[in-house]
Every structure is written in structure tokens, then in C-alpha cells.
Amino acid sequence: MNGVDVAELFDKAVRIARTVTCPEDYDGVWEVLDRAAGVERVAAELAGTQVTSPDATVRATACDLLGLVSERHEQIRASAATILISMADTEVDGDVHWSIARALGATCDPRAVPVLVTLARHDDSDVRHRVACSLPAVIGDAVDGPGVDALIVLSADPDREVRNWATFGLGWQTNADGDFVRQALWERTGDSYSEAREEGIRGLAKRRDHRALPLLAGLLAEASAHVFSFDAAAFLGDPALLPLLRKFDPADRGVEEALRECDPVLRARRDAFAIKLFDALHARLPEAEIALYAERFELGLHLEVDFPGSDGGQPALWSVEGLIERAGDDPDLAVQFVAQDLQAIELG
């Protein structure tokens, strides 16, 4: 596919966009743009020239193409973000604002935060909804700041889907924490919209806030439960949830992990394995720096091995739970696997 082909696809997408009367109609636009986005640099260059068009439909379609290219090709993201941020300063059309917000989320570029914070105050709830979806991607590892503040405000938005997605972004997709974050999540636990309420509960549970315990138990007592509710139970790690968790099939995603984290016996068995593994590795590799740790906003235990003065590369990392599964509860066999993996890394 060459530049002419991409230009023809873009023009076709614009023609379809002019006929759209509902969100479902836009699927045809995405289908055509997705084909154009396969030729990443040509598509990005074309979109970059079209964002200055006097026609709002053309500008919006160009932003959508930049977003699709950014999703598929990481090397395009920085230049795409620069274009989108620049055009946002003077853009006045609401549909284009929506497309800018979506595309900026696809770039995962922290420079987009000020633009999205501004668009978070948009009169159009669809734009605010898109901002709520995009902000977590550009906030990255930030635990506070204007992006987090914007999500807190959006979590109390008059529009229920804006509240839902902002609460999901704030509570589940980011690691932001603190009194204001927890208060925002707690307020949503009383939301009249069930999906926003569930996101508030799970967000508190991820922060291991035990106010969520009886509320999460209510979610698990329902006939079906979302996988995030199982993850939330694992974060809380409370034995009181075991009777509810045992109703579900351990083969379902998240259930086995939740059972292990909530069951003191299983958790102690995992921890004992980890200690034996650590000691055996230290005896076998005395020159290595070995660490066992758990991330605050992640589940499970991690094993890290680093050799001082090697080549300056990243330490090797394993999931302790993954090693248990590979070695069948045999720490000595797990040590052999780690040694083999280290040798493969060195040779690779």
C-alpha cells in the first residue's frame, strides 16, 4: 500500500464520517482507518497534514487516524502527541475535541495531561467521558497531580458513564492514593449507578482499604462476579471472603489467586516456599543480589536476581507463584529453573 492508497482510504473514511448519525455508524470509519493505519509513517504524515483542514470532519478523522497509528506503532506516539497538543490550543469543535482526547490517550504521552485536564471541563459529556478513558494512559505512574485531580472531579460528574469510567481509571487503572482519592472512591460506593458503585468498591479494595470488605462481599454474593472483583478480594486478602470465593470455579480467571491470598494456610505455604527458594538461591549464587518483594498495587510475590558488575542490564525477575507452578512445590527444582533461565539470559 502506498501514499495514494492511504489518501484514498482517508477520503473514504471522511465520506463515511459525514453520514454518521449514531456512535454505531462510526464503526465503518474505524474499519477504513484501521486499514490505513497499517502503513504507519505514511498514515501519520497524511494525518498530520489534515489536522489543519478548515473542515471539522476532516480534522476529527485525522485525529482518529493519528490515534489508531499510535495504538499500533509506539515509535509514532511522540510526534503524534506533539501534533495533537498543538492543534488543541485553537480547536473549537466539540467532535474534534472528542477525537483529540481519544488520540492523546493512545499516545500514552504525559505531555497530554494539561490538554486533557482542560477538556475535562468540557460542556459535552461525551468529551468528558473520552477524557476519563484517556487520562489513566497519560498519567502513567503519577500518584498525584492535575491528572489525578481531574479524575477525582470526573468521578463525581453528573453523567453516570463519566463517573463510571473516571472511577475505574482512578481506582483500578492508576496507583494514585491518598485521602482525596479514597474519599472520591468511597463516595462512589453509594452511587445510584451500579457500575460506578462497583468501581468505587474495587478501587478501595485495591488500596487494601478494609471499608470495602462488606461491600465487596456483597458483589461476590451475586450469581456472577466480575474478574476484577476476584482481584479486589485478593488485594484485601481477608479470610472472611473465603466462603463466598469457594462458590466459584477455581479455573475461572482470578479465583485461584483470590483463594490463595485470602486463605492464611495457602498464603503461608507460598511464603514458606519463597523463603526456602531465597535461601537455596543464595547458597548457590552467593555473588548475586537476591530479593523477594511484593508491589503495593500488584498481587503475588516477586523474585529478583542481579549480579553486581555484570553488564548493567535489568535484574532478572520471576513470579514466585509461577515458579511454584513450574516446580510443583519443589524449591530445589525451582532453583534449577532459575539457574537455567539465568544462563539463557546470559547466552542471549
How far apart, in whole angstroms, are the C-alpha atoms of residue 331 and residue 323? Answer: 9
The Cα angle at residue 50 between residues 47 and 54, in degrees rounded to 5: 155
Percent of the chain with pLDDT over 70: 97
Q: Give the pLDDT confidence score for residue 314 in this predicted structure.
A: 80
- Output the average pLDDT for the chain: 93
Is residue 204 predicted with pLDDT exceeding 90?
Answer: yes
pTM of the model: 0.90
Determine how many CB atoms are found less than 10 A away from the CB of residue 186.
17
Task: Label residue 175 by pLDDT band (50, 70, 90).
Answer: very high
* 3-state secondary structure labels for all residues of 163-223: HHHHHHHHHHHCCCCCHHHHHHHHHHCCCCCHHHHHHHHHHHHHCCCHHHHHHHHHHHCCC
CA-atom Rg of the chain in angstroms: 24
Q: Is 110 exposed, middle or buried (0-12, 13-18, 19+ CB in 10 A)?
A: middle
Bigger pLDDT: 160 vs 4: 160
Q: What percent of the chain has pLDDT over 90?
A: 84
Query: From the CB of residue 329, how many other CB atoms can be counted at a distance below 10 Å?
Result: 12
In what order do the strands lie in the sheet containing 302-306? Answer: 289-293, 302-306, 316-319
Contact 177, 235 (CB under 8 A): no
List, for residues 214-233, the tens digit of each pLDDT value: 999 999 998 788 999 999 99
The one-letter amino acid code at 228 reads F
Q: Which residue has the cell 450469581?
A: 223
pLDDT tens, 270-294?
A: 999 999 999 999 998 888 899 999 9
d(CA 191, CA 169): 16
pLDDT tens digits along 301-336 = 999 998 775 555 688 899 999 999 999 889 999 999
Does residue 1 carry a pLDDT above 60? Answer: no
Write the CB contacts of 311 (distance below 8 Å, at least 6 apart in sequence): none
Average pLDDT over residues 143-169: 97
300: which DSSP letter?
A: S
With 80 as the cut, is the pLDDT of residue 185 above it?
Answer: yes
CA 1 vs CA 21, 37, 43: distances in Å: 31, 11, 11
